[in-house]
């Protein structure tokens, strides 16, 4: 049976099955996504280099080129934000795809704890000994071998896609619902679904801050006292911390986004309005970044944020409990 899939199918499968951890995905489905991200990363790098070089040249030039300097500088900022946003939203879908690819290759997905989680953990420790680097390389090589294994399921296994509308949930029930419907852009989500997740986010952020600060201080001290260049060690710890924060945030970005879209629809507001509000906030943020003295930009940014907040607290247009 033909197991080949095209790019469009793999692209849709990647996003819409973000919450599917029980099915399987073929080798083609995985590597199409890998190729897509590689091309985007290369194109983004080229844009960054070109716009950065142009902005730097105009800043160095003695002529009065401030308007062009702002244009290229602003474009550089937009490119950086878009690239970060693109990869930020891929955290959970990427892990779901990995789990399905392992299962499709006939490998227990729990092996990911060794082939992917352990290398990430070792990298986050900012330890650069030869033994650690060799271990990381071997584990990543094992991961690569598994991902190129042939398909064991001629027809990819699908778990049930949760297309139903959301329902009133409690504090604990909101968590599985949040991840289960990560790739569901349609349907609705109740007010309780949304705000329980917001509360969980606040709790996790506070706990993470309490735990992370002592760990960062200890890691910085340990690295800077054992290296010949303490400054480089502290810099390494800083980047490792940023990487960990980005990786963890990426697990929640897409589920939070789809939840917000469903909350807009449940409140009787077209989800496209969120795109308008987000775009306006991005433009306003770029204006603030270029000139923090523009008070009106801060006011506009706050108003846009307030509009989004008001929509999320609106009651259901057609109460789900009555369905």
What is the end-to-end Cα distance of the chain in Å, rounded?
A: 42
The whole-chain average pLDDT of the chain stands at: 79
- The CA distance from 32 to 30, in Å, is 6
Higher pLDDT, 161 or 213: 213
pLDDT of residue 292: 57
Q: Is the confidence at residue 246, as pLDDT, over 90?
A: no
Instruction: Please tell me whether residue 316 adopts helix, strand or coil conformation.
Output: coil
Most confident of 77-86, 88-97, 215-224, 237-246: 88-97
Most confident of 6-15, 146-155, 210-219: 6-15
Q: What is the mean pLDDT of residues 131-140?
A: 88
pTM (global) more than 0.85: no
pLDDT in tens, 180-211: 888 888 888 888 889 999 999 899 888 888 87
**Contact at 8 Å (CB) between 182 and 21?**
no
pLDDT of residue 33: 93
Instruction: Please tell me whether residue 168 adopts helix, strand or coil conformation.
Output: coil
Instruction: Please tell me whether residue 119 adopts helix, strand or coil conformation.
Output: helix
Q: What is the mean pLDDT of residues 18-24?
A: 87
**Contact at 8 Å (CB) between 250 and 92?**
yes
Q: Is the confidence at residue 2, as pLDDT, over 50?
A: no
- The CA distance from 144 to 149, in Å, is 9
pLDDT in tens, 268-305: 899 999 888 888 887 777 666 666 556 676 778 788 88
- DSSP summary character for residue 315: P
3-state secondary structure 260-290: HHHHHHHCCCCCHHHHHHHHHHHHHHHHHHH
Q: Domain map of the chain by residue range?
A: 1-106+149-161, 170-323
pLDDT of residue 60: 61
Q: How many other C-beta atoms lie within 10 A of the C-beta of residue 146?
A: 17
Greatest alpha-carbon span in the chain: 69
Q: At what angle do helices 91-104 and 130-147 cross, to 10 degrees?
A: 70
Higher pLDDT, 151 or 161: 151
């Amino acid at each position: 049976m033909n197991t080949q899939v095209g790019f469009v199918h793999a692209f849709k499968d990647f996003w819409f099955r973000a919450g599917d951890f029980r099915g399987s995905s073929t080798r083609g489905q995985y590597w199409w996504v890998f190729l897509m991200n590689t091309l985007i990363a290369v194109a983004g790098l080229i844009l960054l280099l070109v716009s950065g070089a142009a902005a730097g040249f105009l800043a160095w030039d003695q002529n009065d080129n401030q308007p062009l300097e702002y244009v290229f500088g602003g474009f550089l900022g937009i490119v950086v934000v878009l690239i970060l946003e693109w990869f930020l939203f891929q955290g959970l879908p990427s892990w779901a795809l990995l789990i399905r690819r392992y299962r499709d290759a006939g490998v227990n997905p729990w092996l990911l704890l060794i082939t992917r989680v352990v290398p990430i953990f070792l990298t986050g420790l900012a330890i650069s000994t030869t033994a650690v680097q060799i271990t990381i390389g071997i584990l990543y090589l094992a991961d690569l071998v598994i991902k190129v294994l042939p398909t064991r399921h001629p027809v990819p296994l699908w778990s049930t896609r949760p297309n139903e509308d959301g329902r009133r949930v409690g504090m604990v029930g909101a968590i599985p619902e949040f991840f289960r419907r990560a790739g569901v852009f349609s349907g609705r989500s109740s007010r309780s679904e949304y705000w329980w997740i917001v509360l969980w986010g606040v709790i996790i952020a506070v706990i993470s801050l309490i735990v992370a600060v002592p760990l960062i201080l200890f890691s910085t001290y340990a690295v800077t006292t054992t290296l010949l260049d303490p400054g480089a060690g502290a810099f390494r710890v800083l980047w490792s911390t940023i990487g960990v924060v980005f990786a963890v945030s990426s697990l929640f970005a897409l589920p939070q986004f789809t939840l917000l879209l469903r909350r807009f629809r449940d409140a009787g507001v077209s989800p496209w309005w969120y795109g308008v509000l987000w775009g306006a906030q991005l433009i306003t943020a770029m204006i603030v970044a270029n000139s923090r003295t523009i008070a009106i930009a801060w006011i506009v940014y706050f108003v846009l944020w307030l509009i989004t907040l008001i929509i999320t607290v609106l009651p259901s247009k057609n109460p789900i409990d009555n369905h």
